[in-house]
Amino acid sequence: MSKMSIKVSFTVGVSLREALAEAKEKAEKLGVAFIEFSFNGAFFAVSLRADIERGIEEFEKGMKAIVI
């Protein structure tokens, strides 16, 4: 597996679920370890094996750095 991560940003109006799903898809397609982005004050690092539901749950608990 690659050790590279790519930082991205999402346009206004994208839901967290959409952002996580697209980040997971891009991590797999691009063969990178993580896709990184910020969403409403929280940092996310999303891998190709990410559990999207866990990411949403951690965000709703108030976590500020979420690696899935």
Query: Does the structure show a pLDDT above 90 at 1?
Result: no
Query: Does the structure show a pLDDT above 80 at 24?
Result: yes
Cα gap 12→67, rounded to integer Å: 22
Only one residue has tokens 């679920």, namely 17
Largest CA distance in the chain: 32
Domain boundaries, position 21: 5-67
- Number of domains composing the chain: 1
Bridge partner list, 46 = 35
Q: Which two tokens stand for residue 54?
A: 């866990």
What are 7-17's pLDDT values in tens digits? 999 999 999 99
What are 33-65's pLDDT values in tens digits? 999 999 999 999 999 999 999 999 999 999 999
The amino acid sitting at 60 is E
